[in-house]
Amino acid sequence: MVPTGETSLRQVTIKVASTRVKDATTGNYTDARAPALSYETFTISIPPTHKATQIEWPESKPNPQTSFVVTDRKTLPNLAMSGGRTSSGHRVTGKRDILIFVHGYNYTFAESLFRLAQVAVDGNLQEVPILFAWPSAASALGYVADKDAVTYSRDDLVELLVELAADPAVGNITLFGHSMGGWLVTEALRQLRLSGQDKVIDRIDNVVLAAPDIDIDVFYRQFQTIGMLTPPMTLLVSPDDRALRLSDWLAGSRGRVGTADATDPRVQTLAAANGVRVIDISKVDALDASNHNRFAALMKVLPRAPKSLLPSIAHAGTFILEPISATLVASPR
């Protein structure tokens, strides 16, 4: 870790709940599966040269002037919001809104940590960012292993949601799942409903699934159990998502939720009938050839959008995000 010593550097503090095992020598998180959740807080400095949507990766010797750098980390007994401090050292008082990010398939711990830091800084998030880091194999060939790893971590995400929902210092809760992390989010919500923990679900103010890697039929059955949410669950989709096309092929040509076509009358009917908000973000610039990480590029759009953009669309339905005007347009029928 490298101290910044530079007042010009931006910093973001991220709380972490992880089911990854930490290497006893280096302290680095591995892809081994831990028997219980562990908690930490990380402070990451963002270089003055940072470009929106990008992660400036450190080279052999981390330089906070040119790259993301972890400047501090501390082990925590839990993720309680009370008694905490801001990045400037002031004691936190009152309730704190939080955003829980559940990363997707083929992520290292560092990638998930830095991606959340990028989103928090570019989006100027006011919520406390929390990373739920499950033990992805971080390999393009590790799809099946990752599917098992998210299943392994399901009870732990439920445990985290129960604890945070009961914390009197927690305000609004946003639960954000990307890719295979979207499957983990819906499974956790389903488990909460089946176990009669409706009050925990009621404490979650927004559920957003970005490029969800979920079989369409499986999602429909999950949602039958979860039920309609208020406000509606939001699905960020891109019909041209190449990573999900590969997932579709690996699953035997079973369609994925994240490639839903918002202009398809069948999708529109299902969204309205089941209380889901589907937003096509395929006009947002992709970060790479896979078109799978557009959610991170949304941070260039949202600062220009009205603060009431999503809350004002309280009803379910299908929409297309126009990035230039930063507005949502009802998808054509």
Give the E-state strand segments of 64-127 in sequence order: 69-76, 96-102
Convert the pLDDT of each residue in 77-108 to its tens digit. 999 887 555 444 456 667 999 999 999 999 99
Among 83-87, 235-239, 248-252, 259-263, name the one with the lowest average pLDDT: 83-87
Convert the pLDDT of each residue in 180-197 to its tens digit. 999 999 999 999 999 999
CB–CB of 67/47 below 8 Å?
Answer: yes
Q: Which residues contact 316 (CB under 8 A, 6 or more apart)?
A: 228, 232, 271, 272, 274, 275, 276, 277
Convert the pLDDT of each residue in 284-321 to its tens digit. 999 999 999 999 998 777 655 544 444 445 568 888 88
Of the candidates 68, 81, 82, the one whose C-alpha atom is nearest the C-alpha of residue 115 is 68
